[in-house]
Structure 1
Amino acid sequence: MDRAEIVHDNFLRRVPARDFPMGAAPSGPMTSEQATACFRAACLSRALDLQARAMQRAGQGFYTIGSSGHEGMAAVALALRPDDMAFLHYRDAAFQIARAGQVPGQTPLWDMLLSFAASAEDPISGGRHKVLGSRALMIPPQTSTIASHLPKAVGAAYSIGMLRRHRPEHAILAEDGLVVCSFGDASANHSTAQGAFNTAGWTSVQSVPLPLLFVCEDNGIGISTKTPNGWIKASFQHRPGLRYFEADGLDMFETFRVASEAADYVRTRRKPAFLHLRTVRLYGHAGADLPTTYLSREEVEADEANDPLLHMARQLPDVDALAIYQETRERVARVAAQAVTRPRLKTASDVMASLIPPRRKNRPTNGGPREAVFGAELKAMAEPQPMGKLINWALTDLMLAHPEIVMMGEDVGRKGGVYGVTQKLQARFGAHRMIDTLLDEQAILGLALGMAQNGFLPMPEIQFLAYLHNAEDQLRGEGATLPFFSNGSFTNPMVLRIAGLGYQKGFGGHFHNDNSLAVLHDIPGLILAVPSDGAEAALILREAVRLAREEQRLVVVVEPIALYPMRDLHGEKDGGWLRRYPGLDQRAEFGQVGVTGTGQDLAIVTFGNGVYLSNQALPQITKSGIKARIVDLRWLSPLPVESLLQAVQGCKDVLIVDETRHSGGVAEGLMAALMEGGHQPRRLTAQDSFIATGPAYAATMPSAAQIVEKALQR
């Protein structure tokens, strides 16, 4: 007999005998009606866990990680409002069930069984994953088991504080609401979680509103590794800026009382709190896990004897707990028999249908008084300028036109960024829209993702491309997956700006010169763009904002650092790479490449710094009798294949100039696309190397001379 059956039989045997574990008597403020509702939610959660195992054995279910032992979270749900956004731990079925009881018209049993069966009719994921979540219950689905949802919970809570200054058109949270975020004791040790706690405390001590309730469900073990006794309390009891509460999660009355106190503190003080909830874990980690392989039988049986359903039955002497339990199990089995007959996803297009979020309508916008914001700089727009200045103007116009835009990052505010690209923006729009963050890229991206879920349009900045790599899971595992696993019911549109790529002279080596884009163009649903000059940058940023606002897309724009100040092309003071600021009605259409020249001998396909270098090489190529054109890709993910093939049509030769690495670089996809389109392209790429500091900064990268050499090798 497996442990699940043992726990089940224990309940059937001990309840009639009134053989209950020791515990406190019921004490307010939970009413008898609330306590009964809590127990019913716990019974349904338990029955679903047992049914999930039965479905898996029958080949009708596919994922059995359960909530047994954590049913006390039903009491936490009852202590909150159903419009408080909840980022839930994967063991919180009881929370979702209890919340569903607070919202008319909900069918949590049917919905969750459809999820277990991976049915295409599952209302949250459409059959893509077994996740908790509901748009009606304000529970975005979480797929992570390592607490990577915590940074965006911080962001969502921060967005509530922003609502009093400006409520975006698509905001979904109440100004007096709060955000709750739950996780396990083992996950509390993860660097992502620690960054979120630190960010919350850092924000709180500055008296910035952050109505956020962390709930740590401490069952004392992470898969097979025990949490040291007292570790969670010792770690969080005296954390700066974070008020600590604790409760026995096996006692629903105490849990409700303490959770209510914590929620009241968070809601009225608008400060974060940490609720430490002691629980037990029943059945092991997941369906195939056998706890007796790493715990003694005595330890396993001690937890089973502390079954929270037994504690609840003890505290409800006037309720027929056994009848409720058995009736619930029978009802779950009946409904499951129907759920497993519902259709499932079959084709690739079925699975991928929610990769791209749904479009949304927006109110018309007005750019506002440009003269008052730009001042004397309006006259300078008639003159050619470097990329850094044109990006600054483009951001100013975008923030004028769209009040929901908020920028955040290290040094973006008062300093104006490492390269001065965001200078004056904080003075123009205020510190609440130009947020100087702490130095934590996970926190920056989490802030953006959370704010995006509440109607803001974040434009975070990562200071250098190399700094993204420690935080990219916020894009891959959280940002890009949200519409996919919520069937488009939740989205987090944003435009991420990253200063990156190589050719920066004598500064910082590989941490400040990083030409690796593979981590970005490998994320499904993410749009990646790279501009090549100032005008292109302005046009791409305008289109990126449109994509985020109207199509709810996650867009990343990597801005070539070396081109920020670039003025000259062929010789000193020739001004060959300066550009005029494009008219406000212009933008770079998504999926369309840029073409310079009409030559039919050679098409140079490139992007970013490669466009600059190819233009440097062009006179020598032309002098050799080769008539060439330069194709600026602009959009690197997804590759603009149709537009690219049109741009190289009629050319005898195609040369790809790729400043990313030979292995895993952009050229690999381009080679495949062009060959499938009937061409025989050649490529010039960077070496598979990190970038050096000092005079050798460009030694591993393509050069203008190499482009000429390759062009002549026909």
Structure 2
Amino acid sequence: MDRADIVHEAFLERLSSGVLPEGVAAEGPLKAEEAVAIFRAQCLSRNLDRRSRKMQAQGQGYYTIGSSGHEGMAAVASALRPDDMAFLHYRDGAFQTRRSAQVPGTTPAWDMLLSFATSMDDPISGGRHKVLGSKALNIPPQTSTIASHLPKAVGAAYSVGLAKRVGPEHQVLKDDSIVMCSFGDASSNHSTAQGAINTACWTSFQSVPMPLLFVCEDNGIGISTRTPRGWVAANYENRPGLKYFHANGLDIFDTWRAARAAAEYVRCHKKPAFLHLTLVRLYGHAGSDMQQTYLSKDIFEAWEAEDPLMHSARLLRDAGVLTADEIKAIYLEAEAQCTRVAEQVVTRPRLKTAEDVMASIIPPARDCAPSNGVAVADRENAFGKSDLRAMGEPQPMSRLINWALTDLMLEHREIAVMGEDVGAKGGVYGVTQKLCDRFGPDRVIDTLLDEQSILGLAIGMAHNGFVPMPEIQFLAYLHNAEDQIRGEAATLSFFSNGQYTNPMVLRIAGLGYQKGFGGHFHNDNSLAVLRDIPGVIIACPSHGADAAKMLRECVRLARVEQRVVVFIEPIALYPMRDLHDAKDSAWMDMYPAPDEKIALGEVGVTGDGALAIVTYGNGNYLSQHASKVLAEKGIQTRVIDMRWLAPMPVDGILNALGGAEKVLVVDECRTTGSQSEALLSMLHERCDLPSSRIAAEDSFIATGPAYAATMPSSDSIADAAIKLWEGK
């Protein structure tokens, strides 16, 4: 028999015989009516698990990581308010079923079984995945995460106090809301969890509001690896800035008492708490997990003997709240409901086409207050006389980005900048200088040195109506936290059918050509990790005026269209002034008027020669330099600056090629996995012009005189262009 059926039969048999597991009597302030509501949610969650396994066996269900053994989370739901945002562990079906009963108009059995069946009617994911989550219940969707949701829970909690001071336009959480985040004992060891909890403690230690409740569901095992007895308590009991609570998760009275105390502490003190629940795991990790292959039978039978539903039944029976017959009736009613509803949901339509699946990758636009510009007096006060005077002269890219950030933050109060050293120091390259003076530490946030926490802060703040602009100091540093974009930010709209979004503009200083500085960890010429993430927009300006105008479009894309945007700033071009000759100032620009933008997909074109060079970033600068050499040899060029790397501006490129005879692709990223591969494929498919490419070697970047040896140069671009033009 399936272990789920064994546990089911054992519950009914022991309930009938009256031989239930031993334990303490019901104690604490939990009222009888609430206790019964918790038990009803537990029974529904248990039977949803069992039904999901039967649906899978029939080929009608597609996910069987269940919540059995963790039904105590229903008591945690009862201890919180329904408007407290909850980022759930994947074993928290009982939390969702209980919260559903707290919110009129929701139908937990129907909704969750639709999800098991991957029906298009599933109200959270639209049939894309079995996820816990509900817009009505204030539960953003989570899949089988391994702690990746903890950083954004920290960000959402931080945003509660910040929103009270700043007042973002699309605020979701109330001023006295708390955020709950749950996870397993095994996940608590993950570096992502450790970083997020450390960030919460670091923030709390400085008396900055952090109304966050961590709930660790400790069933003593992570798939097949046992958690050392006592490890979770030893690890978290004495963390500075973190209040520790413990409860027996098999006892709904004890769990509710501890959860209520923890929630009241968090709500009152605006400090994080850690609620440690001891639980059991029933049925193995998932339906496909054969736990008997790595556990002796006596271990999982001992867990089954501590079935939390048996404990709830004993507590309710012995306290005189329910009779055994009433308990049985509640349980069988839930079983009958799940059986009946399952028969209905499998008849509902499922996704069929690529268009169906992809429909929610790009989130819907939202209504925003119109952009009416900024009062002259406010700009004068923010910029000061020296910067306003400097606007009358051409400036390098770094300064124009700084001014664009200032104008954007003046216009939109919900924009906040965060990252390492962005405040008093003004960033490693001075791009955020003066912003903290202009807008204060609430909107220019110096973070601790942890890229996962930086991006989690941004994602969580976006959940509460902010438009975050996180900064990653160097492109190579993104790899410490790339899953926060790949697995969290970019998937949220997809898994919520567009109901949840986390708009942001992620600024990253990157790419190569820093003269002799930093080597591969500060010069990373690969964007492959970003380019294949569905829905993410990648912008890469090459001159200052373009950077200012594109940054404004990026903010519009995030603020109005709710997109995740990555803005790559070529470090080597930050200070660039000259192009062909010393002091020619040909690579500096005047600051464009605050209402000027470059639209998504709009490319830049210099020249109208028959040889087209398609490039971006530093490649544009080098190609412009090479074009002078080529002109001296009688080869006229047009340089097409992509500007937008994802989605590829196909129409803009093809239109810019009108009248061209040959195409050279210049790519500063590595030959393997670079934009050039996609560009050549597109050119092959969409036009018949002879084409070739020059890209960087598949190598890391060296420090010292050989800093650019592996990448295209103006000379190598000119040589490649001559060979292509002459047909060699």
**Following superposition of structure 1 onto structure 2, how do residues 435-584 of structure 1 map, counting pairs within 5 Å?**
435-584=445-594
| 1:367 maps to 2:374 | yes
> In the alignment, which residue of structure 1 is the partner of 2:694?
684
| Deviating more after overlay: 256-265 vs 669-678 | 669-678
Q: Secondary structure at the match of 2:612?
A: strand
| 1:12 maps to 2:12 | yes
**Following superposition of structure 1 onto structure 2, how do residues 290-439 of structure 1 map, counting pairs within 5 Å?**
290-317=290-317, 318-319=321-322, 320-365=326-371, 366-368=373-375, 369-376=378-385, 377-439=387-449
Q: Could you give the per-residue CA deviations for residues 125-157 of structure 1, whole angstroms, max 9, x where no partner exists?
A: 000000000000000001243110000000000
Residue 597 of structure 1 and its aligned partner are, at CA, apart by: 1.1
Q: Secondary structure at the match of 1:283?
A: coil
Contact 2:661 2:690 in 1 (8 A): no
Contact 1:563 1:609 in 2 (8 A): yes
Measured in 1, the distance between the counterparts of 2:704 and 2:548 equals 31
Which residue identity is paired with 1:663? T
**Following superposition of structure 1 onto structure 2, how do residues 72-471 of structure 1 map, counting pairs within 5 Å?**
72-317=72-317, 318-319=321-322, 320-365=326-371, 366-368=373-375, 369-376=378-385, 377-471=387-481
Q: Could you give the per-residue CA deviations for residues 32-77 of structure 1, whole angstroms, max 9, x where no partner exists?
A: 1110000000000000001001100000001111000000000000
| Deviating more after overlay: 494-503 vs 284-293 | 284-293
Which residue identity is paired with 1:359? A
Contact 1:410 1:461 in 2 (8 A): yes
Percent of aligned pairs sharing the same letter: 67
Q: Secondary structure at the match of 1:629?
A: strand
Measured in 2, the distance between the counterparts of 1:145 and 1:370 equals 44
Q: Secondary structure at the match of 1:267?
A: helix
Which residue identity is paired with 1:372? N
Residue 375 of structure 1 and its aligned partner are, at CA, apart by: 1.2
Measured in 2, the distance between the counterparts of 1:491 and 1:666 equals 27
Residue 16 of structure 1 and its aligned partner are, at CA, apart by: 1.0
Q: Could you give the per-residue CA deviations for residues 346-384 of structure 1, whole angstroms, max 9, x where no partner exists?
A: 000000000000001111234241011111211211100
Which residue identity is paired with 1:572? A
Measured in 2, the distance between the counterparts of 1:230 and 1:585 equals 60
Measured in 2, the distance between the counterparts of 1:193 and 1:516 equals 28
Contact 2:72 2:251 in 1 (8 A): yes
> In the alignment, which residue of structure 1 is the partner of 2:67?
67
Measured in 2, the distance between the counterparts of 1:24 and 1:603 equals 80
Which residue identity is paired with 1:566? M
> In the alignment, which residue of structure 1 is the partner of 2:679?
670
Which residue identity is paired with 1:623? E
Measured in 1, the distance between the counterparts of 2:192 and 2:520 equals 24
Measured in 1, the distance between the counterparts of 2:568 and 2:241 equals 35
Contact 1:144 1:477 in 2 (8 A): no
Residue 28 of structure 1 and its aligned partner are, at CA, apart by: 2.5
> In the alignment, which residue of structure 2 is the partner of 1:694?
704
Residue 273 of structure 1 and its aligned partner are, at CA, apart by: 0.5
Residue 316 of structure 1 and its aligned partner are, at CA, apart by: 1.2
Q: Secondary structure at the match of 2:166?
A: coil
Measured in 1, the distance between the counterparts of 2:516 and 2:123 equals 54
> In the alignment, which residue of structure 2 is the partner of 1:47?
47
Which residue identity is paired with 1:367? V
Residue 286 of structure 1 and its aligned partner are, at CA, apart by: 0.1
Contact 1:656 1:683 in 2 (8 A): yes
| 1:656 maps to 2:662 | no
Is the alpha carbon distance of 1:647 and 1:160 closer, same or farther for their aligned partners in structure 2, counting shifts above 3 Å? Answer: same
Q: Secondary structure at the match of 1:330?
A: helix
Q: Secondary structure at the match of 1:626?
A: coil
Measured in 2, the distance between the counterparts of 1:143 and 1:493 equals 20
Q: Could you give the per-residue CA deviations for residues 366-404 of structure 1, whole angstroms, max 9, x where no partner exists?
A: 424101111121121110000010000000000001000
Q: Secondary structure at the match of 1:547?
A: helix
Measured in 1, the distance between the counterparts of 2:452 and 2:355 equals 32
Measured in 2, the distance between the counterparts of 1:571 and 1:192 equals 49
| Deviating more after overlay: 259-268 vs 565-574 | 565-574
Measured in 1, the distance between the counterparts of 2:506 and 2:278 equals 39
Q: Secondary structure at the match of 2:502?
A: coil
Measured in 2, the distance between the counterparts of 1:49 and 1:210 equals 34
Calculate the aligned-residue CA RMSD, in Å.
0.8
Residue 160 of structure 1 and its aligned partner are, at CA, apart by: 0.2
Contact 2:150 2:192 in 1 (8 A): yes
Q: Secondary structure at the match of 1:316?
A: helix
Measured in 2, the distance between the counterparts of 1:672 and 1:581 equals 37
Measured in 2, the distance between the counterparts of 1:287 and 1:217 equals 20
> In the alignment, which residue of structure 1 is the partner of 2:655?
646
Residue 585 of structure 1 and its aligned partner are, at CA, apart by: 1.7
Residue 482 of structure 1 and its aligned partner are, at CA, apart by: 0.2
Segments of 5+ residues of structure 2 without an aligned counterpart are: none
Give the one of 610, 620, 628 matched to 2:619.
610
Measured in 1, the distance between the counterparts of 2:374 and 2:50 equals 57
Measured in 1, the distance between the counterparts of 2:34 and 2:63 equals 31
> In the alignment, which residue of structure 2 is the partner of 1:37?
37
Residue 440 of structure 1 and its aligned partner are, at CA, apart by: 0.2
Residues paired across the two proteins, number: 713
Contact 2:475 2:524 in 1 (8 A): yes
Residue 596 of structure 1 and its aligned partner are, at CA, apart by: 1.0
Which residue identity is paired with 2:254? E
Which residue identity is paired with 1:94? A
Which residue identity is paired with 2:497? N
Residue 331 of structure 1 and its aligned partner are, at CA, apart by: 1.3
Is the alpha carbon distance of 1:214 and 1:91 closer, same or farther for their aligned partners in structure 2, counting shifts above 3 Å? Answer: same
Measured in 1, the distance between the counterparts of 2:43 and 2:405 equals 53
Q: Secondary structure at the match of 1:630?
A: strand
Which residue identity is paired with 2:256? F
Which residue identity is paired with 1:201? C
Contact 2:247 2:277 in 1 (8 A): yes
> In the alignment, which residue of structure 1 is the partner of 2:629?
620
Contact 2:627 2:636 in 1 (8 A): no
Q: Secondary structure at the match of 2:584?
A: coil
Residue 298 of structure 1 and its aligned partner are, at CA, apart by: 1.1
Q: Secondary structure at the match of 1:295?
A: coil
Measured in 2, the distance between the counterparts of 1:626 and 1:505 equals 30
Residue 672 of structure 1 and its aligned partner are, at CA, apart by: 0.7
Q: Secondary structure at the match of 1:359?
A: coil
Contact 2:474 2:508 in 1 (8 A): yes
Which residue identity is paired with 2:446? D
Contact 1:152 1:449 in 2 (8 A): yes
Q: Secondary structure at the match of 2:426?
A: coil
Q: Secondary structure at the match of 2:576?
A: coil
Residue 289 of structure 1 and its aligned partner are, at CA, apart by: 1.0
> In the alignment, which residue of structure 1 is the partner of 2:715?
705
Residue 2 of structure 1 and its aligned partner are, at CA, apart by: 2.2
Which residue identity is paired with 1:487? N
Give the TM-score of the pair, scaled to structure 2: 0.97
Contact 1:367 1:402 in 2 (8 A): no
Residue 660 of structure 1 and its aligned partner are, at CA, apart by: 0.2
Q: Secondary structure at the match of 1:16?
A: helix
Give the TM-score of the pair, scaled to structure 1: 0.99
Q: Could you give the per-residue CA deviations for residues 409-441 of structure 1, whole angstroms, max 9, x where no partner exists?
A: 000000000001100000000011000000000
Q: Secondary structure at the match of 2:133?
A: coil
